[in-house]
Structure 1
Amino acid sequence: MTIGTAGFTAALCVKAMEDTGFNKSKPILVTGADGGVGSVAVYLLAQKGFQVAACAPEGTRFKDTEPRLKKLGATEVIGALSTDSKALDEERWGGAIDVVGGPTIPTIASQMAYGCSIASCGVAGGPAIKTTVYPFIIRGVKLYGVDSVFAPTVPGLECALLTKDVRQEVWTDLAKVPTAIWQGMRTEVALVDLHQAASQILAGSIRGRVVVNVNLKTPQLTAVEKEEEDLEALKKKCLELRKSLTAKSKIVSADQAMSTILDGDCVTSAGFVATMPCDALISALRKRYDKTGHPRNLEMVFPIIVGDREGRGTEPITPMVSKAIFGWTDVCPAFTNAVLSGKIEAYNLPMGQISHMIRSSANGVPGHLSKVGLHTFADPRNGGGKRNKQTTKDVVKIQELEGEDCSGPAWHPEQKPTNALGPSWSNMSAVELPELPENREYIFYPAPKITVALLRGSLADEAGNISFEREPLLLDSLNQAMAAKNNGGLVVVQVQRVVPVGSLDHRRVHIPGMLVDMVVVANSKEHAAVTYAAADEEYDPTLSGELKPLQAAQMEELPWEGPRNACQKRVMAHRALFEVKKPKAVLNFGVGSPEFVATMMASHGHQNPDLKGFMATVESGVWGGVPQGGLRFGTSTGFEAIVPTSTMMDFYVGGGIDYAFLGVGEADACGNVNVSNFAGRVPGVGGFADISANAKTLIFTATLTCGNLVTKVEDGKLIIVQEGSIQKFKKKHLGP
């Protein structure tokens, strides 16, 4: 019987806590969370909408304890509780279910919120309790003992909680638990395994409940032992295959390459919005996962995801991922939904800082310091980029440098960024900015230990040298390859074809062959377009620079009429180009309506004399030309130069942008702007924080409302036919 006494006891504990006092604004603590009672309690509490802190001491954990408990619904997984507690401590818990007893109860009681209760049902830590009465008298804490044997059928007992209906109520709750959840909480053994199973229970090396199947006639390995044995065998097999595949040649099939990725690998991949997808590699990886269930528990690190909003790109990896550090994901809805639902431990950080984190991983340093993200949602005091309740650990931290003003290039009092929306220029600011000359605070962004890089190039030679001659961007490809290589990992590059050694133009080789472990030649379908926006074309040479487009002066002027709501973006774009007051200015254009500004400058720029000699740039690494919009965002036609993303971000963060044209998701009366998490969407911050923190002048182009907004142009005037249903500008202060 899978549910057994453990499941019944857990349900009684939840019922007792609910009936005797809890505070839903604080987490509910569950001790012994990896055991039979604890794991059921975690699931039941999560299903009732509680925040759950699952306590599983490090020494008793299995390899998958934390992801397994989070899958059950735990919002955080903590280690052992201190047994050296004060009589009264900080009010930390809104309720507790304790299966340990002994020295844990005084600690829990001292940390309980006022009026809340502890449901106690175990003595694994011993029966003795040494505590004071202060939590019970001063805070009204209640200690409620749960008995699953007699309760609630004791004759003559009068108690509002212990009624015959309680038993029916808790079994009703248990009946709602899916079968798959129970199967993941049990270890099935035969009768002949009982002695070994008992030893493992006492040693704390067996998870959940043990079910004795009397129909099993032969000894069984416990599920935990078998799983760990299988995983070790799989890891060994993958590593041996990785070595044998590259013994004679670096040229392998996509299936072969993807069969060598390990569970738990830290993966970084190429791509920018819809540009430079690695479809051959991603498709093969997903095919392997669908067939075998591996790899799993991957960690993904990428500045910008690649996709087409229809399931292509990086999106097929989603079910394999347990943790992600990302800048922007708006073109992969399934991935974004996994973040929103808490299936992935998710951190959204500024794109430029992730690019530099990858660089730190490549050069072997612990991480880097930056002022980008201070006083925004990326600041650890404001959440540190965590994007759901299941994400609890901090990946970034505040570090203060001593000595004279260490503010760096991001802080120029005489060049403080101008914000048309108000005095506070930092997106999603939640605290008052300190005086600039006194500021010595930085955010420390740690280097991830990248072990797999999945990349894309144009051509490869037989030695693995990768040419980018037909690619529109360089991105972080070189740093990603160096990071995986220097961490002893795997570098796989998808290309269109392979040529003999010595036949590549060495000036177009961006990734040296010594960094590349495997080269996969993709078929025409999986390597057809450099961007999904050009999926109907085999190759668009204007994006790679092989073919120069029409000069800006020859471009057809944008019409005012067009698709629904295109007109207001054109009106805004035309007005915005006159905000540039400095010749030879360096410009940046954000996602959305700012994309129209770039095109408008190419066609109407001659109307503003101060635009003479301007330089359009894109955070992906493009200098000059006409920045593209939509799924082509990040690329440019007629560009003058392309540099790696991390290099462009060095220039941006150093204060190199004169004017940045940015969009608005929502804004408040103080001028705080949010583009990363609004209206039930989590597109991510992208390069917004890197750019807005350091550009000399910010120009926002946005409508006041959105959602079914309808406009038109008549007689040279913009007319609102139907106002949008969503107000972008809020009176209420935007929180982090």
Structure 2
Amino acid sequence: MKKVRIVGADQMASEVFDGATVVLSGSGGGLQEADHIAEAIEKRFLATGHPRNLTLIHGLGIGDGIATGITRFAHKGMVKRVIGGHWSWSKKMQELARTNEIEAYTLPAGPIQTLMRETGAGRHGLVTHIGLHTFADPRHGGGRCNDKATEDLVEVITLGGKELLWYKPIQVDFALIRGTACDPQGNLTSREEPSEMDAFAAAMAAHNCGGKVLAQVRDVLDESISPARDVSVPGVLVDMVCQFAAQTQTTGAAYDLSMSGMQRAPDTRAAMPLPDGVRYLIARRAAKELRADACVNFGFGVPDGIPAVAQAEGREIGWTTIEQGPHNGELLGGHLFGATRYPSAIVKSTEQFDFFSGGGVDIAFLGMGELDAEGNVNVSWLGDSIVGPGGFVDITQRAKKVVFCGTFEAKGLVVEHEGEEVFIRRHGDVSKLVKKVRHITFSGARARADGQEVLYVTERAVFQLTPNGLRLIEVPPGVDVQADVLDRMPFEVEVGIALSPCTESA
């Protein structure tokens, strides 16, 4: 029987050749990231100039936002092309894209991960509805994010009279994956990790393309992993393993078994900290859309404060899911987003994306960068930086109801509240409602055609998507509909609430 090859990270790094395609498994904040291997590859490049001209693929964000993860590869000449689902965890890589030093693409995280699964299965790319009428659609850019990105990675096709997207197959040379431990046969377990991520799909893609799977673990075991169901990646797929005893569960944090699902939830738990200021106002209003019997998804940013508000108000949250794989539990925010405490189940993120793609989510609460008159939302390209959608497209495109959460304006906005009353003390300098979004991460036209229920919740107004576009349906007490909302918008909107007497007489 095969025995695992235990080597140092430096030896792994020496295997990576110029021009190779490398898949990174994991999620931002250190969730199941093989950063010790990535660091060794970076050190080799800085010392020798090799490997060069790599193609880097990652479904979700990778790194701590400063030096680890994707940033390990953010050196001129080291990468030729990046296909990333989420870019904001590396400002240096964003800069290389902005200055056309690399070919920059962003695609939805689900298609990236499931394309790896299809590649490993020997199928001819991925055919899916996810991404239609968004930036991933060739008619809206095809995921290209700078002048240097010229190849068509996605095509529109028709099958059975239905329009779909074909994400073209990719030859994978290396997969960098991570587990908690490996056994003598090279089987990996992720039992102490907060997620399983897409390690299996990435490993299968590399192995079945004739490439190599480089795995990082905290522990090397003397006996086989038991029970066998704890194995997340079988040893037949693993070429080399490096042991990194200082491996942390997330960025800079020791292993916490409550995040891996290995500890039962206590009978009583401390209250989750409430969001502050305007984030609280938005979360408070959005929480009113919760239903006890619904399968719910909460996105990064403002939406991740909704569970705390619901808990404080005694609202039932429902069955929660996030793209990294956990179900239920206490949703964590910030750099720990993607992990939960005391989850009731953890599945592979590729399987979670299949669940999203099939319409398993009843209500999704997501952030909102820009909103236009058509109901389009942009979160994937803000200002001059590629952000990427992460799981946003997969979740919003098929959820039965979507509640977007974000401020009406940014930069300098000052808002106060007393009870239910909201007072805009200073308007923001930058409007988040625009005539036309720069990047279509969510398509209002597609949502209308599919009959999807969509709300847009801000601190001062709630809009609804209708067959005719946006409709203003609610403002809190204290907000002047005309001065604080309608006069601050760059486009006209249907008004579905009564205006104040002074506004009507004017």
Q: Which TM-score bucket, shorter chain as reference? A: 0.7 to 0.9
Deviations 1:260-279 (A, max 9, x none): 11111110112111122222
Once the two structures are aligned, what percentage of the paired residues are identical? Answer: 35
Residue 280 of structure 2 is aligned with which of 563, 570, 574?
Answer: 570
Which residue of 285, 289, 299 maps to 1:579? 289
With over 3 angstroms needed to count, the CA separation of the structure-2 counterparts of 1:589 and 1:254, relative to structure 1, is same
Amino acid at match of 2:157: Q
Residue 393 of structure 2: aligned partner: 689
- Which amino acid letter does the alignment assign opposite residue 397 of structure 1? E
Instruction: Extract unaligned runs of 5+ from structure 2.
Output: 441-506
Alignment partner, residue 377 of structure 1: 135
* TM-fit CA distance, 1:703: 0.7
Aligned residues of 2:298 and 2:304 also touching (Cα < 8 A): yes
One-letter code of the match for 1:513? G
Q: Is the 8 A contact 1:599 1:626 kept in 2?
A: no
Cross-structure match for 1:255: 10
Cα distance, 1:716 vs. partner? Answer: 5.5
Tell whether 2:213 aligns with 1:530.
Answer: no
Counterpart for residue 483 of structure 1: 205
CA contact (8 A) 2:378 2:437 kept: no
Asked if the contact 1:548–1:637 (Cα under 8 Å) also holds between the matched residues in 2, the reply is no
Offset at 1:506? 2.0
- TM-score computed with the length of structure 2 as normaliser: 0.82
Task: Select the residue among 314, 320, 336 that pairs with 1:606.
Answer: 314
Given that 1:311 and 1:334 are in contact with CA atoms closer than 8 Å, whether structure 2 keeps it comes out as no
Amino acid aligned to 1:480: A
Provide the C-alpha distance between the structure 2 equivalents of 1:371 and 1:481, rounded to a whole number of angstroms: 25
Greater Rg by CA: 1
Separation in structure 2 between the aligned mates of residue 469 and residue 481 of structure 1, nearest angstrom: 18
Q: 1:699 to 1:357 in 2, by over 3 A?
A: same
Distance 1:732 1:361, change over 3 A: closer
Aligned equivalent of 1:591: 300
Matched, 1:298 2:54: yes
Q: Distance in 2 between matches of 1:734 and 1:495?
A: 41
State the AA in 2 paired with 1:359. Answer: R
* Contact map agreement 1:667 1:734 (CA 8 A) in 2: no
Aligned-residue offset at 1:461: 1.3
What displacement does 1:733 show?
A: 5.9
Give 2:37's aligned residue. Answer: 281
What CA deviation, in whole Å up to 9, does each residue of 1:158-213 have, x standing for no partner? xxxxxxxxxxxxxxxxxxxxxxxxxxxxxxxxxxxxxxxxxxxxxxxxxxxxxxxx
Residue 652, structure 1, aligned to residue 367, structure 2? no
**What residue in structure 2 maps to residue 318 of structure 1?**
74
Q: How far off its partner does 1:485 sit?
A: 0.7
2: distance between equivalents of 1:531 and 1:368? 31
* Match 1:547 to one of 240, 257, 263: 263
Distance 1:693 1:353, change over 3 A: same
Pairs within 5 Å for 1:13-28: none
CA 1:726/1:684 → structure 2, altered by over 3 Å: closer, same or farther? same
How big is each residue's C-alpha offset from its partner over 1:688-719, in whole Å with a ceiling of 9 and x where there is no partner? 11111110001111110112333344456444
Q: How big is the shift at 1:392?
A: 1.1
Describe the shift of the 1:583–1:446 C-alpha distance in structure 2 as closer, same or farther (beyond 3 A): same
1:467-515 per-position Cα deviation (integer Å, ceiling 9, x unaligned): 1111111111011111111111111111112111325442211111111
Name the SS of the counterpart of 2:215 in structure 1.
Answer: strand
Per-residue CA shift, 1:289-335, capped at 9, x if unaligned? 11111111111111012111211223111222111111111111111
Q: Is the 8 A contact 2:22 2:55 kept in 1?
A: yes
1:643 alignment counterpart: 347
Q: What residue in structure 2 maps to residue 30 of structure 1? A: none
Aligned to 2:448: none
Equivalent in the alignment of 1:451: 173
Residue aligning to 1:463 = 185
Amino acid at match of 1:727: S
* Mapping for residues 94-243 of structure 1, pairs under 5 Å: none
Cα distance, 1:734 vs structure 2: 4.9
Q: Please tell me whether residue 502 in structure 1 is matched to residue 197 in structure 2.
A: no
Question: In the alignment, is residue 634 of structure 1 matched against residue 389 of structure 2?
Answer: no
CA displacement 1:412-459 (0-9 Å, x = unmatched): xxxxxxxxxxxxxxxxxxxxxxxxxxxx11110112111101111101
- 2 CA distance for matches of 1:558 and 1:501? 43
| Root mean square deviation of aligned Cα | 2.0
* Alpha-carbon offset, residue 256 of structure 1: 0.8
Does the C-alpha gap of structure 1 residues 597 and 712 become closer, same or farther in structure 2, counting only changes over 3 Å? same
1:664 and 1:286 map into 2 onto residues whose CA distance is 35
User: d(CA) in 1 for partners of 2:110 and 2:400?
Assistant: 17
Aligned partner letter, 1:665: G
Report deviation, 1:365. 0.9
**Which residue is 2:125 aligned to?**
367
Query: How has the CA–CA distance of structure 1 residues 557 and 444 changed in structure 2, closer, same or farther, with 3 Å as cutoff?
Result: closer
1:342 matched to 2:57: no
Q: Which residue of 2 aligns with 1:395?
A: 153
- Distance between the aligned counterparts of 1:289 and 1:491, measured in 2? 20
Shift of the 494–728 alpha-carbon distance from structure 1 to 2, 3 Å rule, reads same
Equivalence for 2:443: none
**3-state SS of the aligned residue for 1:252?**
coil
SS at match of 1:376: coil
Query: Quick check: 1:568–1:718 contact (8 Å CA) kept in 2?
Result: no
- Residue among 681, 686, 699 paired with 2:403: 699
* Cα separation, 2, equivalents of 1:550 and 1:574: 26
Supply the distance in 2 between the matched residues of 1:716 and 1:512 (Cα, whole angstroms).
55
Matched with 1:516 is: 238
Name the structure where strand makes up a greater proportion of residues.
Answer: 2
Residue of structure 1 in register with 2:24 after alignment: 269
Pairwise CA distance, 1:599: 3.0
Aligned to 2:382, the other structure's residue is in SS state coil
Distance, in Å, in 2 between the alignment partners of 1:509 and 1:301 is 24
- Corresponding residue of 1:355: 113
Which residue of the partner structure matches residue 420 of structure 1? none
Task: Give me the TM-score of the superposition, normalised by structure 1.
Answer: 0.57
Counterpart Cα distance in 2 of 1:621 and 1:442 = 26
Once the two structures are superposed, residues 78-118 of structure 1 have per-residue CA deviations (whole angstroms, 9 ceiling, x without a partner) of: xxxxxxxxxxxxxxxxxxxxxxxxxxxxxxxxxxxxxxxxx
Is the counterpart of residue 617 in structure 1 residue 321 in structure 2? yes
- 1:330 & 1:278 partners in 2: Cα distance? 18
Aligned length: 436
Query: Paired residue for 1:419?
Result: none
Q: Which has the higher helix share?
A: 1
What residue identity is the alignment partner of 1:374? L
1:730 alignment partner, SS class: coil
Aligned partner of residue 493 in structure 1, secondary structure:
strand
* Higher relative contact order (CA closer than 8 Å, sequence separation 6+): 2
Distance 1:286 1:462 in 2: 28
Q: Measure the CA separation in 2 of the matches of 1:646 and 1:355.
A: 6
